[in-house]
């Protein structure tokens, strides 16, 4: 190896760290990276484009959207096909027929009024509607064969007293069936819910405890106009009462045979 300060050849062995000349000293040579592909300088990443340089593709115009992609209107003359459940729920109230398979004993009553006595409990509250319900029920009873002298009418102050009157008529055992008539109209307070609910449960209880059919003919509506358009509920209650009375009579005959 050459002496201090002399130029070192590349073939000379490397000198210790403390013997290498410092920058500014004679014979100093800057360090060079070893040759080879493994020691290439790292690639400098390209700078990301600024917001001004970013090009956003324009959205297609509304006219360019094809017809199948938009919400197409149904074709004229073609109605959507309803499934079995949707078809069954299409009407709010439907008086459908019950089909019982052959080969089974059936006890079914008919709304027959011949020879039957009927008790009617009617509320005086909302008297105009109650009058219409009573007239509807009496006309239907007469049409079905119930004589006028076989009908007993018991007026009560309101719908809240209907269960007590229906219970008393049923316990007397003088009537084949009982009809409860009245009207409860919704107001601005929860009074409607209490009266309507207790009237319904009490009228049901009268029939359950006595075994005498008690028909529910009480309207629970929001307005007087709704009540006046439902006065035929009195006739429906009369038919239901006579039908249940006839069904109970047939049941007793069947049990005794």
Who has greater pLDDT, 119 or 77? 119
User: Which phi and psi (to 5°) does residue 109 adopt?
Assistant: -90, 160
In a domain, 1, yes or no: no
For 146-184, write each residue's pLDDT tens digit. 999 999 999 999 999 999 999 999 999 999 999 999 999
Distances (CA, A) of 85 to 90, 92, 98, 122, 234: 9, 13, 18, 39, 31
In a domain, 11, yes or no: no
How would residue 29 be classed by pLDDT, with cut points 50, 70 and 90? low
User: Which phi and psi (to 5°) does residue 52 adopt?
Assistant: -70, -30
Residue 205: domain span: 118-256
Residues carrying an active site annotation: 191
Exposure of 158 by Cβ count < 10 A (0-12 exposed, 13-18 middle, 19+ buried)? middle
> Average pLDDT for residues 134-151, to the nearest whole number?
97
In a domain, 138, yes or no: yes
Q: Which residue has tokens 């062995």? A: 13
What's the rounded Cα separation, in Å, for the pair 244 and 178?
10
> Average pLDDT for residues 91-99, to the nearest whole number?
64
In a domain, 234, yes or no: yes
For 207-228, write each residue's pLDDT tens digit. 999 999 999 999 999 999 999 9
What's the rounded Cα separation, in Å, for the pair 186 and 223?
7
In a domain, 38, yes or no: no
DSSP-assigned beta bridge partners for residue 179: 120, 215
What is residue 85's predicted lDDT score, i.e. its pLDDT? Answer: 42
DSSP-assigned beta bridge partners for residue 182: 218
> Of the given ranges (64-73, 95-104, 121-130, 168-177), which has the lowest mean pLDDT?
64-73
By three-state DSSP, how is residue 120 classified?
strand
In the chain, % of residues over pLDDT 90: 56
> Average pLDDT for residues 18-24, to the nearest whole number?
60
Q: In the predicted model, is pLDDT for residue 12 greater than 60? A: no
Q: Which H or E run includes 10?
A: none
CA 73, chain centre distance (Å): 28
Q: In the predicted model, is pLDDT for residue 110 greater than 70? A: yes
> Of the given ranges (82-96, 102-116, 235-249), which has the lowest mean pLDDT?
82-96
How many domains would you assign to the chain? Answer: 1
In a domain, 68, yes or no: no
CATH number at residue 187: 3.40.50.960
Q: Which residue has tokens 């050849």? A: 9
Does the predicted TM-score (pTM) go above 0.85? no
- Mean pLDDT (the chain, rounded): 79
What's the rounded Cα separation, in Å, for the pair 28 and 32?
12
In a domain, 27, yes or no: no
What is residue 80's predicted lDDT score, i.e. its pLDDT? Answer: 43
In a domain, 28, yes or no: no
What is residue 161's predicted lDDT score, i.e. its pLDDT? Answer: 96
- DSSP-H helix ranges across the chain: 84-88, 127-143, 162-171, 191-210, 224-228, 233-256
């Amino acid at each position: 190896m050459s002496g201090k300060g002399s130029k070192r050849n590349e073939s000379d062995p490397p000198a210790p760290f403390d013997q290498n000349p410092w920058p500014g000293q004679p014979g100093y040579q800057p360090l060079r990276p070893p040759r080879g592909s493994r020691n290439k300088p790292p690639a400098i990443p390209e700078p990301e484009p600024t917001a001004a340089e970013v090009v956003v593709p324009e959205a297609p115009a509304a006219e360019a959207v094809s017809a199948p992609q938009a919400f197409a209107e149904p074709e004229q003359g073609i109605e959507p096909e309803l499934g079995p459940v949707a078809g069954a729920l299409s009407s709010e109230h439907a008086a459908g027929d019950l089909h019982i398979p052959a080969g089974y004993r059936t006890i079914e009553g008919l709304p027959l009024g011949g020879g039957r006595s009927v008790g009617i409990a009617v509320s005086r509250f909302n008297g105009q509607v109650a009058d219409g319900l009573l007239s509807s029920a009496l006309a239907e009873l007469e049409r079905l064969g119930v004589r006028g002298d076989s009908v007993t009418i018991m007026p009560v102050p309101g719908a809240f007293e209907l269960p007590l009157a229906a219970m008393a008529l049923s316990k007397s055992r003088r009537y084949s069936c009982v009809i409860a008539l009245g009207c409860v109209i919704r107001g601005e307070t929860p009074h409607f819910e209490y009266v309507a609910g207790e009237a319904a449960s009490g009228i049901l209880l009268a029939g359950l405890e006595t075994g005498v059919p008690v028909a529910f003919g009480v309207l629970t509506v929001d307005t007087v106009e709704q009540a006046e358009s439902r006065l035929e509920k009195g006739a429906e209650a009369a038919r239901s009462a006579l039908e249940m009375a006839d069904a109970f009579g047939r049941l007793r005959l069947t049990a005794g045979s």
